[in-house]
Amino acid sequence: MGHGVAGRQQQCSYVSLNAQVMPMLLTQKRWKHFAAMALIGDGVMAVVHPRADALAWERGPKIWQKLMRNLSDHPTLTRAIGAAQIIGGVYWALHHERED
């Protein structure tokens, strides 16, 4: 295990891969992009299937559970919130893209 030339080559390939992957994972620009994608995606789900989207977020403190149950009973409000998420996510992504 990890002995000789093959072990050193394997260890070097892990170090090389780690050196390439870590900067991709840790850049602020990538985190902003990922957050915008999540916001947009959740907004789309709220517009397409508001009840299921609200219930998907039902876990958490009692007050949060109550809020999500109420949103699942009000699909028009949930869709409006979803549309706002989409608009906000797109705006945020475009705004931060210009900054970076």
Q: What is the pLDDT of residues 23-71, one digit of tens each?
A: 666 677 778 888 999 999 999 999 999 999 999 888 889 998 899 999 9
- Work out the number of other CB atoms within 10 angstroms of the CB of residue 72: 18
Put simply, whether the predicted model's pTM sits higher than 0.75 gets the answer no
Please give the share of the chain, as a percent, with pLDDT higher than 90: 47
User: How is residue 74 written in tokens?
Assistant: 């009000």
DSSP 58: -
Quote the Cα angle for 53-83-29, to 5°: 90
User: What Å distances lie between residue 75 and 8, 27, 63, CA to CA?
Assistant: 58, 37, 19
Distance, in Å, from the CA atom of 59 to the CA atom of 31, rounded to the nearest integer, reads 24
Distance, in Å, from the CA atom of 95 to the CA atom of 72, rounded to the nearest integer, reads 31
pLDDT band for position 7 (50/70/90)?
low
